[in-house]
Amino acid sequence: MTATTYSALIFDLDGTLIDSAPDIARAVNACFAARGWPELEVAYVESYIGNGPRRLIADIMVDRGLPSDPETVDAAMKGYLDAYSQDPAGRCRLFDHVREDLAALHGAGIRLGICTNKPHELTARILDLLDLARYFDVALGADAVPACKPDPGHLLAVAEAMQLEPGTYAYVGDTRVDQATARAAGIPFFVVPWGTGPGVEVPAQNRLSRLANLIAPTAVAAQ
C-alpha cells in the first residue's frame, strides 16, 4: 500500500510536529523552583515527554528522589500546568519543513488529525498560536478521552471523530508510546526522524525523512 492510498493521517504533536521541549522544561522548572527543587536541563525533561503531564511530573520526581506521594504529585502537576499555560508556545518551533509539508498534505486533499497526550485545551491554544489549526479536522488531547495513549482508544477516538474507515489512515509519531498505540489500534505507523524518532525501531519504509514522504509515490505503508 502506498502512502498516497491514505485519505487521512493522524499525528502526534510534541516531538513530531513541534519541538515543545523548551517550553515544557521552562514550565517544569518554574514549578520546581517554587518548591525549592533543582533546575533541570531541557534534554533531561525531553526524555520524559510523551505520557501526559502527570506521568511527566511523577516520573521526574521519582527519578530525582523527590517526594512522590499522590498529593504532592498532583500539586506539582497543577503548578506545572499553571506555568505552562502562561506561555505555552513562546520557545516552541516547528521541525524542519513541517509547515510546508502539512500545507502540501492538506492541499493534496489528505485529511489531518492530531492524537496527543498534551492537555486538550493547551493543544488547541498551541495550534492557534502557531497558526496550524487550519490544517486539522480534529485534535484530541489526553483529557478529552477516557484513557490516553498508549490506550488505542485515544487514537481510535480521533479516527471516529473524523469519521474515518479502517485502512484509510495511518498514525505518525516519534515515540515508542506512539508506536505501541498504533499497533494496539491496528493502524499503520510512521516515525519521524527528529524528536525521539531515531530511537524507535520500524521497517525502513516506515521511517520518514520528512512529512512530505507521505504523499510520495514510493512511500510504503505497512507494519
Hey, which residues are catalytic here?
12
Strand partners, 9: 112, 170
Q: Name residues whose C-beta falls within 8 Å of residue 31's C-beta, 6 or more positions apart in sequence.
A: 57, 76, 79, 80, 82, 83
The residue among 164, 158, 130, 129 whose CA lies nearest residue 144 is 158
d(CA 179, CA 171): 8
What is the C-alpha R_g of the chain?
A: 17
Residue 219 main-chain phi, psi, to 5 deg = -70, 135
